[in-house]
């Protein structure tokens, strides 16, 4: 177990600046997830921590010690990749023992550690099999075992579940969460899947274009996204956005107008900064209520998706073709072709300024 501290970390490939002045603290025993769209620098950041890429600028510390120039083997990190990259000609046991042999661990300790790890990961019955005789989930577990057998101070995962089918992904996600709970080891986990991030993380780091967009607990990111990007990235179906205009504010709240919603008085603090137009209103699908309506402000229901336990209703505003989504528990009384009014739950409405930063609730400071 160890903490990881990143201080003004930069990575440049040739003339491309990939990681930009990144500061981050991963606490001892914490499960931290890097999430963000493809190409935002997640794998690069993980490889910098592992020592598989050199740091262009900045300090990287593990357990307080500067490790910028330490080779991967001496950093005490274990890494699990998306492609399991098991040695096909070796048994499960040999795959898990291999790194320890290279590190010149004595035979008895190797056996002890492989058997301990196999027990934790429920691989005891499979130790004599070769990878080709294993299922996808079992292979992924062996890849984890190989990293864990070396008893690293930090376990790093790069999209370890991406190659598995949906149901196995859910099962392995659950296993990794329980593993973390039992071992209490520091884990850093990369994924582009916000559901994995939400379900696994103590702390989520949302990356965008080589910078941190927001760091926080899953609940914080869901309830208080600091930017429109985070608001749209976390949560499924995604948050509804629409343009809004500020009509007035007094530090206790503000009055806004949004197409189809009319005038709303929100508890957000406009802070005197945003001027009139250019605001975006955000509201999650579960924070909208529908009511039967006619007239200019009515939305048309263009699709209804029944998922068993819940229902998604797709709504088309009169003046735009950007669909909004309403989500409720099943059964639903709504049907295609009906015309409805939208009533957002005011305490759950988010407002973003012209730079897409969230406006603080009245009495609070800006979160970003």
Q: Indicate which single residue of 26, 35, 36, 43 sits in contact with Mg ion (rule: CB under 5 A).
A: 43
Report what 18 binds from ligand ADP, Mg ion, none; CB cut-off 5-8 Å by kind.
ligand ADP
**Distance in Å, CB of 17 to ligand ADP, minimum:** 10
Between CA 134 and CA 136 the distance in angstroms is 7
Specify the residue, 43 or 140, whose C-beta has the smaller distance to Mg ion. 43
Report what 216 binds from ligand ADP, Mg ion, none; CB cut-off 5-8 Å by kind.
none
Q: How many residues bind ligand ADP (CB under 6 A)?
A: 11
Q: Indicate which single residue of 5, 43, 82, 268 sits in contact with ligand ADP (rule: CB under 6 A).
A: 43
Q: Residue 191 interacts with Mg ion (CB under 5 A)?
A: no
Q: Indicate which single residue of 6, 9, 32, 40 sits in contact with ligand ADP (rule: CB under 6 A).
A: 40
Q: Residue 13 interacts with ligand ADP (CB under 6 A)?
A: yes
Report what 44 binds from Mg ion, ligand ADP, none; CB cut-off 5-8 Å by kind.
ligand ADP
**Distance in Å, CB of 143 to ligand ADP, minimum:** 18
Specify the residue, 159 or 353, whose C-beta has the smaller distance to ligand ADP. 159
Between CA 73 and CA 158 the distance in angstroms is 18
Specify the residue, 45 or 86, whose C-beta has the smaller distance to ligand ADP. 45
Residue nearest Mg ion, Cβ-based: 43
**Distance in Å, CB of 42 to Mg ion, minimum:** 5
Task: Output Rg (C-alpha) for the chain, integer angstroms.
Answer: 25
Q: Indicate which single residue of 24, 41, 121, 230 sits in contact with ligand ADP (rule: CB under 6 A).
A: 41
Q: Residue 194 interacts with ligand ADP (CB under 6 A)?
A: no
Return the range that interacts with ligand ADP (CB under 6 A); candidates 37-45, 104-112, 123-131, 325-333: 37-45
Structure tokens of 139? 């292979």
Return the range that interacts with ligand ADP (CB under 6 A); candidates 34-42, 91-99, 109-117, 223-231: 34-42
Q: x/- binding map, residues 263-302, to ligand ADP, per CB under 6 A?
A: ----------------------------------------
**Distance in Å, CB of 1 to ligand ADP, minimum:** 25
Q: What is the 3 state secondary structure string of the chain?
A: CCCEEEEEEEEEECCEEEEEEEEEEECCCCEEEEECCCCCCHHHHHHHHHCCCCCCEEEEEECCEECCCCCHHHCCEEEECCCCCCCCCCCHHHHHHHHHHHCCCCHHHHHHHHHHHHHHCCCHHHCCCCHHHCCHHHHHHHHHHHHHHCCCCEEEEECCCCCCCHHHHHHHHHHHHHHHHHHCCEEEEEECCHHHHHHHCCEEEEEECCEEEEEECHHHHHHCCCEHHHHHHCCCCCCEEEEEEEEEECCCCEEEEECCCEEEEECECCCCCCCCCCEEEEECHHHEEEEECCCCCCEEEEEEEECCCEEEEEEECCCCCCCEEEEEECCCCCCCCCEEEEEECHHHCEEECCCCEECCECCCCCCC
Q: Residue 18 interacts with ligand ADP (CB under 6 A)?
A: yes
Q: How many residues bind Mg ion (CB under 5 A)?
A: 1
Residues that bind Mg ion (CB under 5 A): 43
């Amino acid at each position: 177990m160890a903490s990881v501290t990143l201080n003004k970390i930069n990575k440049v490939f040739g003339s491309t600046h990939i990681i930009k002045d990144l500061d981050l603290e991963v606490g001892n025993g914490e499960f931290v997830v890097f999430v963000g769209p493809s190409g935002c620098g997640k794998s690069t950041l993980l490889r910098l921590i592992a020592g598989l890429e050199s740091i262009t600028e900045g300090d990287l510390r593990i357990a307080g010690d500067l490790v910028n120039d330490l080779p991967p083997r001496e950093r005490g990190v274990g890494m699990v990749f998306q492609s399991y990259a098991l040695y096909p000609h070796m048994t499960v046991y040999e795959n898990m023992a291999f790194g320890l042999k290279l590190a010149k661990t004595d035979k008895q300790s190797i056996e002890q550690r492989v058997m301990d790890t196999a027990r934790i990961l429920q691989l005891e019955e499979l130790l004599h099999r070769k990878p080709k005789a294993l299922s996808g989930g079992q292979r992924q577990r062996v890849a984890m075992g190989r990293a864990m057998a070396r008893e690293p101070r930090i376990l790093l995962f790069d999209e370890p579940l991406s190659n598995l089918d949906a149901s196995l992904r859910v099962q392995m996600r659950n296993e990794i969460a329980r593993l973390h709970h039992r071992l209490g080891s520091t884990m850093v986990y990369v994924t582009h899947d916000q559901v994995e991030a939400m379900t696994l993380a103590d702390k989520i780091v949302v990356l965008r274009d080589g910078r941190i967009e927001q760091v926080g607990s899953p609940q914080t990111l869901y309830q208080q996204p600091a930017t429109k990007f985070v608001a749209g990235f976390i949560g499924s179906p995604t948050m509804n956005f629409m343009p809004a205009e500020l009509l007035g504010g007094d530090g206790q709240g503000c009055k806004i107008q949004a197409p189809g919603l009319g005038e709303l008085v929100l508890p957000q603090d406009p802070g005197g900064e945003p001027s009139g137009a250019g605001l975006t209103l955000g509201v999650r699908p579960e924070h909208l209520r529908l009511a039967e309506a006619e007239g200019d402000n009515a939305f048309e229901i263009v699709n209804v998706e029944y998922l068993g336990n819940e229902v998604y209703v797709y709504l088309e505003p009169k003046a735009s073709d950007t669909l909004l989504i309403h989500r409720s528990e099943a059964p639903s009384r709504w049907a295609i072709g009906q015309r409805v009014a939208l009533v957002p739950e005011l305490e759950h409405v988010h407002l973003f300024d012209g730079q897409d930063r969230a406006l603080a609730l009245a009495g609070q400071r800006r979160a970003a």
